[in-house]
Amino acid sequence: MTVTRRGFQLGLLASGALLPALADAFDGDPVHADPATDEILRRVDPELRAGALMILSRPLPSPLTPAAVRTMRQKAPAAAPPLPPPAAAVERRIVPGANGAPPVPVTVIGARPGGPPCPAVLHIHGGGMILGRVADTIVASQRLAAALDCVVVEVDYRLSPETPFPGPVEDCYSALAWLYDNAAALGVDRTRIAIMGESAGGGLAAMLAIAARDRRKIPVCYQVLIYPMLDDRTGSTRRVPPFIGRVGWNEAGNRFGWSSFLGRPAGAARVPYGAVPARVEDLAGLPPAFIGVGAIDLFVDEDIAYAARLVRAGVPTQLHVTPAAYHGFDFIAPQSRVATEFAAAWKSALRAAFTTRF
């Protein structure tokens, strides 16, 4: 399986593991595994091993600090430009923030004012709560808009540690409220608005679904949570088996990301309500959900547990666990069999949600 430099960069952005080394050109030379790496790769799907080797060759800074995070942001590789017409048009907008918060930049993809109302997806990028940017998700969202004949709105939420909870969630809610209030002008059917995110974006989408349910102003028809970051206790007060979370986002990164987002140590006895989806007791009344994760992803246990709790709460839920797949595998090797099956599963679920009412 061929892994492109661009795919590798986007995969690390999605998984929250963007490194300063990515500023250097990847020359394509093979990376030779040592015995410890061989043991990790033994558990990885053969088509995903080349990507795993590249990720392992560029570990997160240790220790991970706010200064290191700033350096990673500054050295992020240039984003790919949007696809030209006839791909969905890309328009950047600024929407009001909540309760005196700063305005929120959003990117609208595929708006069709005056046309028949279509579904919409509010998409939230990943990055461990500390990294990531909308610019790296535009092309994928243009393709999603074409594949599902929908409008996609990307949220440029504020990152942590500069902005801890509830700031990032309120940014996402402000974008959702703007999409809902301006649905007619965008050519959107306000009864068919879904929310979606990967990694930290999946965690924020889960938080947003909870906030929307609690506030009872905006109906969300579906939530697509791709290897979502749901539980601050993973890697802090709850350790994972040694073969899980070794490729991509790891326990140390998770502790730092959650601590930055919560403004307190990850795994603390108490957290603010709504800040950690796995700690919200009542999940009844949430939108139907798709949850997808790899079997050796750091988040596999927490994602399976959250899916089970949704089922017990009466929420229609589809869970997809990909064997031998690590965090961000679908970005790293999008043409692999497991990645194409994974993408087909969540797209099928989302397509059904736009045409079916539970």
The CA distances from residue 57 to 165, 197, 244, in Å, are: 32, 26, 17
- Which residue among 141, 160, 199, 259 is the active-site one? 199
pLDDT digits (tens, 9 = 90+) for 294-303: 999 999 999 9
Instruction: Answer whether residue 28 shows pLDDT above 60.
Output: no
Q: Active site includes 199?
A: yes
Proportion of the chain above pLDDT 90, given as a percent? 87
Which of 10-19, 124-133, 348-357 is predicted least confidently? 10-19
Instruction: Indicate whether 30 pLDDT > 50.
Output: no
pLDDT at 15: 41
Q: Quick check: 167 pLDDT over 80?
A: yes
46, pLDDT greater than 50: yes
pLDDT score for 100: 87
φ, ψ dihedrals at 55, nearest 5°: -65, -45
Per-residue pLDDT for 17 more than 50? Answer: no
Q: Taking a C-beta distance cutoff of 8 angstroms, is the pair 226, 197 a contact?
A: yes
- Mean pLDDT across the chain, nearest whole number? 91
Task: State the pLDDT at residue 147.
Answer: 97
pLDDT band, residue 36 (cuts 50/70/90): confident
pLDDT of residue 358: 57
Give the chain's radius of gyration (CA, Å).
Answer: 19
Q: What is the mean pLDDT of residues 223-237?
A: 98
- Among residues 260, 327, 330, 336, which one is catalytic? 327
Bigger pLDDT: 27 or 339? 339
C-alpha distances (whole Å) from 85 to each of 38, 57, 142 are: 45, 37, 10
Average the pLDDT over each of 55-69, 139-153, 165-179 and give the range with the smallest value.
55-69
| Residue in 156, 171, 232, 297 annotated catalytic | 297
327 included as an active-site residue = yes
Would you place residue 170 in the very low, low, confident or very high pLDDT band (cuts 50, 70, 90)?
Answer: very high
pLDDT of residue 217: 97
Domains in the chain (CATH in brackets) are 90-353 (3.40.50.1820)
Lowest average pLDDT, out of 37-41, 183-187, 253-257, goes to 37-41
Answer yes or no: 123 catalytic: no
Cα torsion 218, 221, 224, 225 to 10°: value is 50
Share of the chain residues as helix, strand and coil, in percent rounded to the nearest 5: 40, 15, 45
